[in-house]
Amino acid sequence: MSKQLKQILVAAGLLAAAGTALAAGADLGQAQKQATNWTAIVMFAIFVGITMWITKWAASKTKTAADFYTAGGGITGFQNGLAIAGDYMSAASFLGISGLVFASGFDGLIFSIGWLVGWPVITFLMAERLRNLGKFTFADVAGYRFDAGPIRTFAATGSLVVVAFYLIAQMVGAGQLIKLLFGLDYMVAVILVGVIMMMYVLFGGMTATTWVQIIKAVMLLVGATFMALMVMVQFGFNFESLAARAVEVHSKKDAIMGPGALINDPVSAVSVGMALMFGTAGLPHILMRFFTVPNAKEARKSVAWATTWIGYFYILTFIIGFGAITNLIPNPADYYVGGEIAKGLKGGGNMPAVHLAGAVGGDIFLGFISAVAFATILAVVAGLTLSGASAVSHDLYASVWRHGNVDQATELRVSKITTVFLGIFAVVLGVVFEKQNVAFMVMLAFAVACSANFPVLFMSVLWKDCTTKGAVAGGFVGLILSVSLTIMSPAVWEASLGNPKGTAMFPYASPAIFSMTAAFVVIWLVSLMDKSAQAAKERAAFPAQLIRSETGVGASGASGH
Amino acid sequence: MSQDDVVARITSNPKFQQFVSTRNVYSNIMTMLMMIVYFGYILLIAFNKPFLAQKMSAGGVISIGIPMGIGVLVFTIVITWIYVRRANTEFDATKDAIVKEASK
């Protein structure tokens, strides 16, 4: 691509941002009164400008498939840790968790813990082996000794299903949020997200995606730290007095200090916990990030830093939620519809953190936090799209269809074409699902990740007798079971599909406890029964795989160092 | 020296088997600890809400469940660093020595 064309695209990006600013101006009166959207739009335009400039620089460095998928493997552990945090901390976790703390206090804390506990599991069981065995996608890991056709077809399916559900949740969330914060049309917001994200991935590949995620993570952490500090300053850094004031003003009074309705049925609680704990280790866009660092040591450092930042962030959201209680509830005229608490917060239940930003930092800071929320969505969808594109181009096209006989330039071209298709697909999904309740989609992505991707990865790396047939059979059982049980669960069957209450055939909040167990059992049984010559060959290849996974000898990108 | 030779020598080195099993035991124990702490907390919430809602001090509002919850978050971060510390120093040194021995 010519330099000129790139400059035109950069200019177009800025113009798009400016154009939407105009559109927002017209909408300001009727949409949401609380946001002086101009500040937010200027801040967001600056973010887009900077990231487009980075994308241009990244484009000059993105020449091979390895550059595109893994930024050439040259990211440090600390940088990658921030990028993972940026990939993982979605707008939903920032606004949603602080909103949950605002609504029910303690339950928000329980919820956030679930989103962190998967990280040590990745560190202890996966990170190093993944780095040593893999090259571009997690299918490389399972594909090390297994028959490429079936195992990569499965892995690509698992990746694409997770990416699709995650994308729907992000796109619909993006549309609603931007409509609210910037006063844009839903349609305009969704297209804007799709176009900007596509430019990052298409031209800048993993290098641009990584830096967008790092910048976003830093902005989000700085913004959240500032809010939490301002709240703590109000109470002389005494959490007891913050909590006492919250209990005093909250309608649920002392109930916000104890567990509420979030966890009642132990089976659901354990099942959701399993989905979060093991699902994190099966998310393709997260696993892909381990191939961007040069070796296992840096891969471990990445997760340790990621865990630190994400955990720190959740502690902040807890304080922010309480700060929202003490700052917003006593001032219903400013923050509630019609000034009445009974009518709910302006903009809905996800807005406490945004309103609090205005309360403690004024309009400028409110604009900053709104821009951060937008940037957050871009960073997450860029990571998702990149991992979806690599599943198609590297696993399906290059390995399955062309049996590895494909040059780098062609593979790179296929991934770029896929990126465009995924971008359009994301926008279409965002539009199709606009009116749907998509809250369950992220949980569904985690359920599939823990029931299909994780068992296959785990068994292929750690169990010497595992075979292709076992892995593929178990993986598909986990995939089908997790999706169908989720559809039959109350969150989808009743809340989204509108069937009468009590008709859901699967009574629990998450299928993980059943679908993940089933996947492991099927992998084990089918592998045991597999007496084929291929199976014998695969078992014989285990010692070599073990050495590479444990020592990194022969690992991609590591041998030369 | 070809890579196959290195692989063969590492495989036959008893120190390698020893190393793999030590590290596996360690990472399994750490995984178990994390599961016990997290699922323990979740099941405690499911079965004994009043325990968690008890106040830390008479007249205060903060319940026992809150520092425990923050504790689980902090534990998650700390246990990750403990593992990474040991893996990046002790385990990597042992591994490097084994690889070096096999590559001679």
| Type of residue numbered A148 | A
Chain B's closest residue to A302, CA to CA, is B84
Q: Which two tokens stand for residue A354?
A: 């945004």
With CB atoms and an 8 Å threshold, state whether A311 touches B74.
yes
What is the pLDDT at residue A440? 82
**A543 lies in which domain range?**
3-551
Q: Is A338 left (phi over 0), alpha (psi -120 to 50) or beta?
A: left
Chain A's closest residue to B10, CA to CA, is A547
What is the pLDDT at residue A419? 94
Residue A147: inside a domain, yes or no?
Answer: yes
Mean pLDDT check: name the lowest of A15-19, A122-126, A393-397, A469-473. A15-19
Residue A556: inside a domain, yes or no?
Answer: no
What is the pLDDT at residue A453? 96
Interface residue B42 vs chain A (CB under 8 A)? yes
Which CATH number characterizes residue A132's domain? 1.20.1730.10
With CB atoms and an 8 Å threshold, state whether A117 touches B76.
yes
With CB atoms and an 8 Å threshold, state whether B81 touches A543.
no
pLDDT digits (tens, 9 = 90+) for A28-86: 223 343 444 688 888 889 999 999 999 999 999 888 888 999 998 889 999 999 999 99
- Domain tally, chain A: 1
Q: Please provide the average confidence, as pLDDT, over all residues in chain A.
A: 88
Residues of chain A in contact with residue B42, where contact means CB-CB under 8 angstroms, are 110, 263, 269-270, 273
Q: Which CA distances in Å does B49 have to A107, A193, A244, A252, B68? A: 12, 43, 20, 16, 13
Share of chain A above pLDDT 90, in %: 61
Q: Which two tokens stand for residue A289?
A: 């990030």
State how far residue A541 is from chain B, nearest Cα, in angstroms: 11
pLDDT digits (tens, 9 = 90+) for A239-253: 999 999 999 999 999
With CB atoms and an 8 Å threshold, state whether A117 touches B38.
yes
Token pair 């299918």 in the structure block, residue: A139
With CB atoms and an 8 Å threshold, state whether B52 touches A314.
no
Among the partner-chain residues A112, A259, A303, the one whose CB lies closest to the CB of B53 is A259
Q: What angle do CA A267, A273, A275 make, to 5 degrees?
A: 105
Q: Is residue A258 scored above 60 in pLDDT? A: yes
Determine the average pLDDT of the residues in A273-292: 93
Residues of chain B in contact with residue A461, where contact means CB-CB under 8 angstroms, are none
With CB atoms and an 8 Å threshold, state whether B45 touches A269.
yes
With CB atoms and an 8 Å threshold, state whether B66 touches A257.
yes
Among the partner-chain residues A243, A258, A297, the one whose CB lies closest to the CB of B92 is A297
Please, which residues 54-93 of chain B have a Cβ atom closer than 8 Å to chain A?
A: 60-63, 65-66, 69-70, 72-74, 76-77, 79-81, 83-84, 87-88, 92
Decide: helix, strand or coil at residue A326: helix
Sign of CA dihedral A429, A431, A432, A435: positive
Residues of chain A in contact with residue B31, where contact means CB-CB under 8 angstroms, are 120-121, 124-125
State how far residue A247 is from chain B, nearest Cα, in angstroms: 8
State how far residue A65 is from chain B, nearest Cα, in angstroms: 25
Mean pLDDT check: name the lowest of A102-106, A218-222, A402-406, B75-79. A402-406
Burial of A408 from C-beta contacts in 10 A (0-12 / 13-18 / 19+): middle
Q: Which of A65-69, A227-231, B52-56 has the highest mean pLDDT?
A: A227-231
Please, which residues 275-304 of chain A have a Cβ atom closer than 8 Å to chain B?
A: 277, 296-297, 300-301, 303-304
What is the pLDDT at residue A179? 81
What is the predicted ipTM?
0.94
Greater confidence (A109 vs A21) lies with: A109
Share of chain A above pLDDT 70, in %: 92
Measured distance CA(A387)–CA(A384) in Å, rounded: 5
Determine the average pLDDT of the residues in A370-379: 89
Please, which residues 239-268 of chain A have a Cβ atom closer than 8 Å to chain B?
A: 239-240, 243-244, 247, 254, 257-259, 263-266
State how far residue A232 is from chain B, nearest Cα, in angstroms: 16
Determine the average pLDDT of the residues in A135-139: 88
| Type of residue numbered A529 | M
DSSP A172-183: HHHHHHHHHHH-
Greater confidence (A132 vs A440) lies with: A132
Q: Which CA distances in Å does A179 have to A48, A198, A375, A533, A560? A: 18, 20, 14, 58, 49
Residues of chain A in contact with residue B74, where contact means CB-CB under 8 angstroms, are 311
Interface residue A551 vs chain B (CB under 8 A)? yes
Q: Which two tokens stand for residue A416?
A: 């770029």
Interface residue A109 vs chain B (CB under 8 A)? yes
Determine the average pLDDT of the residues in A399-425: 90
With CB atoms and an 8 Å threshold, state whether A270 touches B39.
yes
Residues of chain B in contact with residue A547, where contact means CB-CB under 8 angstroms, are 7, 10-11, 16
What is the pLDDT at residue B11? 83
Measured distance CA(A428)–CA(A447) in Å, rounded: 24
What are the backbone angles phi and psi of residue B63, rounded to the nearest 5°? -95, 160
Measured distance CA(A436)–CA(A377) in Å, rounded: 19
With CB atoms and an 8 Å threshold, state whether A314 touches B73.
yes
Measured distance CA(A376)–CA(A92) in Å, rounded: 9
With CB atoms and an 8 Å threshold, state whether A547 touches B23.
no
Mean pLDDT check: name the lowest of A35-44, A311-320, B54-63, B78-87. A35-44
Token pair 């550059």 in the structure block, residue: A67
Q: Which of A160-164, A339-343, B54-58 has the highest mean pLDDT?
A: A160-164
Among the partner-chain residues A112, A123, A269, the one whose CB lies closest to the CB of B42 is A269
With CB atoms and an 8 Å threshold, state whether B66 touches A109.
yes
What is the pLDDT at residue A557? 60
What is the pLDDT at residue B2? 64
Chain A's closest residue to B43, CA to CA, is A266
* Single pTM value for the model: 0.90
With CB atoms and an 8 Å threshold, state whether A123 touches B92.
no
What is the pLDDT at residue A14? 43
Chain B's closest residue to A246, CA to CA, is B61
Among the partner-chain residues A124, A258, A277, the one whose CB lies closest to the CB of B38 is A277
CA A324 to the chain's CA centroid: 25
- In chain B, where the domains are located: 3-103
Chain A's closest residue to B3, CA to CA, is A554
With CB atoms and an 8 Å threshold, state whether B87 touches A128.
yes
Determine the average pLDDT of the residues in B35-61: 92
State how far residue B24 is from chain A, nearest Cα, in angstroms: 9
Residue A560: inside a domain, yes or no?
Answer: no
What is the pLDDT at residue A158? 95
Q: Which two tokens stand for residue A76?
A: 């440090």
Q: Is residue A4 scored above 70 in pLDDT? A: no
Measured distance CA(A483)–CA(A539) in Å, rounded: 31
Residue A557: inside a domain, yes or no?
Answer: no
State how far residue A305 is from chain B, nearest Cα, in angstroms: 9
With CB atoms and an 8 Å threshold, state whether A109 touches B69.
yes
Determine the average pLDDT of the residues in B54-60: 88
Measured distance CA(A122)–CA(A115) in Å, rounded: 13
Residues of chain A in contact with residue B15, where contact means CB-CB under 8 angstroms, are none
Decide: helix, strand or coil at residue A100: helix
Predicted confidence band of residue A19 (pLDDT cuts 50, 70, 90): very low
pLDDT digits (tens, 9 = 90+) for A294-333: 999 999 999 999 999 999 999 999 999 999 999 999 999 9
